């Protein structure tokens, strides 16, 4: 199996395209063949597309999540809000310093007088009352303004979090995309104690090109969406489910044995095999649709790249073995145990 991430990176480099997330998204959809119209538009740009042309395509096909402007706008808003917050704080500090000066001068004046008349005390009380009231009111106003600025910054933060989620979501199936998957699989090896019971499952739809060629890309897109729904319905909420290629999916499951991982994968395979794929209105049958799967335990690999390669090798074995089946890497010919992670366990 070809690693689509590598293909995308090489293609973008050859065409002189900047390695921006929004560009990766465009080439991901163009090269995996799931969006024929987008692929044609990218081809029409020639060998040296401009960033302006790519952004135009992004706005056209990914209007809901091609919002790189969100980041730039957020940066400007945050800078403006922080400057206004600093101005409020400076103003409040200046006001407090003036109030302190009044207190100091009043105290000093009283200390230097031999006698203090009633009229003088009344004047001092009047001045201090006005100064104190003004200081309290100013403080309340400053607190209210800071609260408003905090709320505005929280809104910006929410928008950025939404954008980040969209940037990590596959626009067709609404599950995690390849970018999110690459980060997640790498994180498995951040904590060596968690490697012993983590597993990677790769799944690839059998003869998907034939489905697209025979029934059209809209049908293929709908099948991808249904399979994504089946994957999510058959795993726990904490399992990581992603679309990593045109017709390829990946699942990262935690706290499981190899046997339990195999049973999960086979249950998903059977659920997809048993699902009717067709058009209810026309009666046209698109199936049967099947998938080939490969699994590898994290403890059998030396790192994230090795884990992916071994699960991919197991999936390929399922393909050449007749499709519609699950293969464990540990049972493939030439399969060798990975690093003994028990040696790296920390007390």
If we measure between CA atoms, which residue out of 296, 246, 293, 241 comes closest to residue 270? 293
Report the pLDDT value the prediction gives residue 342, as an integer from 0 to 100: 45
Confidence of residue 128 (pLDDT cuts 50, 70, 90): confident
The pTM of the full predicted model, rounded to 2 decimals, is: 0.59
Residue 57 has pLDDT above 60, yes or no: yes
Confidence of residue 347 (pLDDT cuts 50, 70, 90): very low
The residue-averaged pLDDT of 12-20 equals 81
Report the pLDDT value the prediction gives residue 232, as an integer from 0 to 100: 95
More confident residue, 95 or 263: 263
Report the pLDDT value the prediction gives residue 321, as an integer from 0 to 100: 94
Report the pLDDT value the prediction gives residue 116, as an integer from 0 to 100: 63
Residue 141 has pLDDT above 60, yes or no: yes
Give 99's contacts (C-beta < 8 A, 6+ positions apart). 131, 132, 134, 135
- 327 forms beta bridges with 294
Residue 71 has pLDDT above 60, yes or no: no
The residue-averaged pLDDT of 175-202 equals 87
Confidence of residue 60 (pLDDT cuts 50, 70, 90): confident
Percent of the chain having pLDDT more than 70?
82
CA distance 123 to 144: 32
* CB 291, CB 227: distance < 8 Å: yes
Residue 334 has pLDDT above 70, yes or no: no
Report the pLDDT value the prediction gives residue 233, as an integer from 0 to 100: 94
Confidence of residue 333 (pLDDT cuts 50, 70, 90): low
Q: Strand order of the sheet with strand 291-297? A: 240-243, 248-254, 198-205, 291-297, 326-328
The residue-averaged pLDDT of 185-203 equals 86
More confident residue, 333 or 91: 91
The residue-averaged pLDDT of 317-336 equals 87
Cis? peptide before 288, omega within 30° of 0: yes
Give 20's contacts (C-beta < 8 A, 6+ positions apart). 68
Report the pLDDT value the prediction gives residue 343, as an integer from 0 to 100: 44
Confidence of residue 272 (pLDDT cuts 50, 70, 90): very high
Q: What is the pLDDT of residues 207-248, one digit of tens each?
A: 999 998 898 888 999 999 999 999 999 999 889 999 998 899
Report the pLDDT value the prediction gives residue 1, as an integer from 0 to 100: 42
If we measure between CA atoms, which residue out of 343, 315, 245 comes closest to residue 33? 245
């Amino acid at each position: 199996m070809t690693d689509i991430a590598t293909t995308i990176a090489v293609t973008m480099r050859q065409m002189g395209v900047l390695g921006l997330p929004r560009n990766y998204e465009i080439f991901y959809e163009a090269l995996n063949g799931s969006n024929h119209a987008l692929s044609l538009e990218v081809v029409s740009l020639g060998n040296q597309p401009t960033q302006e042309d790519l952004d135009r395509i992004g706005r056209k096909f990914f209007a809901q999540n091609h919002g790189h402007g969100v980041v730039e706008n957020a940066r400007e808003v945050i800078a403006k809000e922080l400057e206004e917050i600093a101005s409020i704080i400076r103003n409040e500090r200046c006001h407090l310093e003036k109030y302190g000066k009044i207190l100091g001068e009043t105290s000093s004046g009283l200390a230097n007088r031999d006698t203090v008349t009633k009229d003088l005390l009344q004047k001092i009380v009047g001045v201090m009352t006005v100064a104190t009231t003004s200081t309290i009111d100013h403080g309340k106003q400053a607190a209210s303004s800071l609260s408003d600025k905090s709320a505005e910054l929280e809104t910006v933060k929410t928008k950025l979090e939404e954008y980040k989620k969209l940037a990590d979501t596959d626009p067709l199936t609404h599950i995690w995309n390849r970018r999110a998957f690459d980060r997640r699989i790498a994180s498995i090896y951040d904590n060596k104690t968690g490697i012993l019971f983590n597993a990677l499952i790769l799944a690839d739809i059998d003869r998907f090109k034939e489905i697209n060629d025979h029934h059209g890309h809209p049908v293929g897109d709908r099948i991808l969406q249904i399979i994504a729904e089946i994957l999510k319905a058959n795993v726990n909420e904490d399992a990581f489910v992603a679309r990593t290629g045109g017709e390829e999916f990946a699942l990262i499951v935690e706290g499981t044995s190899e046997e339990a991982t195999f049973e999960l994968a086979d249950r998903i395979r059977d659920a997809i095999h048993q699902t009717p794929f067709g058009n209810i209105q026309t009666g046209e049958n698109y199936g049967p649709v099947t998938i080939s799967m490969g699994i590898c335990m994290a403890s059998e690999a030396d790192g994230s790249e090795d884990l992916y390669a071994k699960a991919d090798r197991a999936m390929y074995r399922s393909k050449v073995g007749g499709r519609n089946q699950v293969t464990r890497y540990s049972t493939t010919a030439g399969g060798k145990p990975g690093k003994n992670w028990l040696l790296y366990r920390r007390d």
